Structure 1
Amino acid sequence: MNFSNFKAGTNKQQYQYKSFSPEKINTTWIWDDPILNVLLEKATRKLGELNAFTLIVPNIDLFIQMHIIKEANTSSKIEGTQTNIDEALLPEEDIALEKRDDWQEVQNYINAMHYAINKLEKLPISNRLLNETHEILMQGVRGEHKSPGNFRTSQNWIGGSNLSDAIYIPPHHTEIPGLMGDLESFLHNDAINVPHLIKIAIAHYQFETIHPYLDGNGRVGRLLITLYLVGFSLLKKPSLYLSSFFEKHRSSYYDALSRVRVANDISHWVKFFLNAVIDTADDGKKTFILILELKKETDSFIISLGGRAENTNKILELFYQKPALNVKEIEKALSMNQRTIRNVLKTLEKENFIVEYTGNKRNKKYIFQRYLKLFY
């Protein structure tokens, strides 16, 4: 299929409304636009540079957790949640009552991402994996009664208050099994010669167009991008997340997806997607450089502590994994006595590596603020 000849689909008459029926995508794709070739080359190079950092950074898994937390927070924000990244790190009891639903949605995304990435070791990207991930995403939050873990069996819509004034009406639910089966086949079809970044760009568009769930489609669709990059070994670790770019350019993101359906302009969407990869991979590389600089500084400080170095290093490594901690959490994780923990925390606070955020004299809680700022 040549991009210039692509027909996105047709509007089908249903009872009192028309739904959009997308064309299937499991075919070879070609294009004539040289700009797209240049963007593809640049995006591939930037992705390779980012992947190289995940291979050379010591103890990379310490830092991947914050990437996942940032993605969970940003992807959820696109859907309307108001939790910021600082709050995403805090325990539920530290969250204002009116914000706990939003906080839980972010926690669900974190859990869903961890589950899906770990599951990739045994199960390839598939509708089964997406459904299992969706079920985790919907637990105990808005949408928990909207068939979590299952494709929808009724009509949904985007924008407006009902079908009569909707901005977009996805395909009728009877089409979903065939369309999602075609999408899964496209992801794994080695007989078609489509570069990976082009393939996942098309797949993300198609997923959002199908809108297979009653709720949570945006988050699962964006999570699909990372799963694909890891599942097909473009990334060794889940270090690239496009939600920050999509959130920053939210109107352009939605417009680019809509432009495919309205004007058959798949090329515009793929260019937007590749620019997102270029920009986000570059930001990710810069973040890793800053992480290495901070790690070098903290390591030098730890060495200067002599006999206290070992315990301080253990606690700081824990803060790299979870930048918001209290004494009891550290004690449980490290089996270290509380007096030693408090002495280390006082030292780290004095050096401005961590800050106490409650103002309490007892039950103090600390944030690794200098590390956290690298992800703003």
Structure 2
Amino acid sequence: MKELPLCNRLLLETHKVLISGLRGKEKSPGEFRRSQNWIGGYGSNLKTASYIPPDVETMKEYLSDLEKFINEESKMDELIKTALIHYQFETIHPFLDGNGRIGRLLIILYLLNKNIISTPTLYISYYLKLNRIEYYDRMSEIRRSGNYEQWIKFFLKAIIISCESALETSDKLIKLNETNKIKIDDLSLNKGSKENLYKLLSYIEAHPIIEIKNTSLDLDLSYIQLIRW
């Protein structure tokens, strides 16, 4: 978001990156759909679908409205606004594939954009997947009866539980870092070797999956030494 505001163009570029390397690459990565899609179980069609998103021309209008809603200043609580943004995006369903992933990512992007969170450590996707039946039911309820209240309550609960989980994980990582530093301090090594181990520890914490060759170059440490460690 340093180069682009939270806009439809950003969604397209994000979708292109997401879909091109994963399943769904045949589903027009980086493009809004040009045909009618639908939501339903395996083997469903337009006649048996549980939900049919707006047609292409209406979709374009709704996307423009959503973009304006995202970026306009309002007195609405930002978390409630996030719930409405996510619902609206999923209802528009602008892509042939990847709508769920982009929709969940949009939650994080909006919260980052509004400085509600400072880093993308809020993993709300886990809660939504764990409670997917209620998740779908609450959005369907809006489409049927216009009942936004239960959806917003569900969404806010998802935010609260996800925040609690993020704090718990953060606390565990801090304690693990402290434990590892104590272990390094207790090693019978000279000052220079310990400093290199601290560098390696910080690097691993920032890059959980590493390759020794790249790590050696990034930290300017011996390949052989890294293997021994």
Q: TM-score, normalised by structure 2?
A: 0.92
* Counterpart Cα distance in 2 of 1:327 and 1:236: 30
Percent identical pairs in the alignment equals 41
Number of aligned residues: 224
Cα displacement (A) at 1:285? 0.8
User: What letter is aligned with 1:320?
Assistant: E
Q: Report runs of 4+ in structure 1 exceeding 6 Å deviation.
A: none
Higher strand fraction: Structure 1 or Structure 2?
A: 1
Alignment of 1:110-259 (within 5 A): 120-160=1-41, 161=43, 162-190=45-73, 192-259=74-141
Are 2:171 and 1:289 equivalent residues in the alignment? Answer: yes
SS at match of 1:257: helix
Ranges in structure 1 where 5+ consecutive residues have no aligned partner: 1-119, 345-376
CA change 1:325–1:140 in 2 (3 A) is closer
The 5-angstrom pairing of residues 100-111 of structure 1 reads none
CA offset at residue 326 of structure 1?
A: 4.3
1:331 pairs with one of 197, 208, 216 = 216
> 2:20, 2:211 → 1: CA distance?
27
* Distance (Å, rounded) in 2 between the aligned partners of 1:147 and 1:326: 33
C-alpha RMSD over aligned residues:
1.5
Q: SS of 2:6's equivalent?
A: coil
Compute the displacement of 1:168 (Å).
1.0
Deviation at 1:223, TM superposition (A): 0.2
For 2:68 and 2:123, the matched residues in 1 are separated by: 24
After TM superposition, the structure 1 stretch with the greater mean CA deviation from structure 2, 304-313 or 145-154, is 304-313
- Tell me, in whole angstroms, the C-alpha distance in 1 between the residues paired with 2:212 and 2:67: 46
Q: 1:240-319 to 2 correspondence within 5 Å?
A: 240-305=122-187, 306-307=189-190, 308-319=193-204
SS of 2:111's equivalent in the other structure is helix
Matched to 1:150, the amino acid is E
Cα deviations by residue, 1:86-107 (Å, 9 ceiling, x for unpaired):
xxxxxxxxxxxxxxxxxxxxxx
Higher RCO, 1 vs 2 (CA within 8 Å, ≥6 residues apart): 1
Q: Distance in 1 between matches of 2:83 and 2:123?
A: 13
Q: Mind listing any 5+ residue stretches in structure 2 that lack a counterpart?
A: none
267-276 vs 241-250, greater mean Cα deviation? 241-250
Distance in 1 between residues matched to 2:25 and 2:223, nearest whole Å:
40
Checking the alignment, whether the CA contact within 8 Å between 1:151 and 1:176 is kept in structure 2 is: no
Q: CA deviation at 1:141?
A: 3.2
1:148 and 1:209 mapped to 2: Cα distance? 19
Please say if residues 327 and 338 of structure 1, whose CA atoms lie closer than 8 Å, have aligned partners that are also in contact: yes
Counterpart mapping for 1:334-353 below 5 A: 334-344=219-229
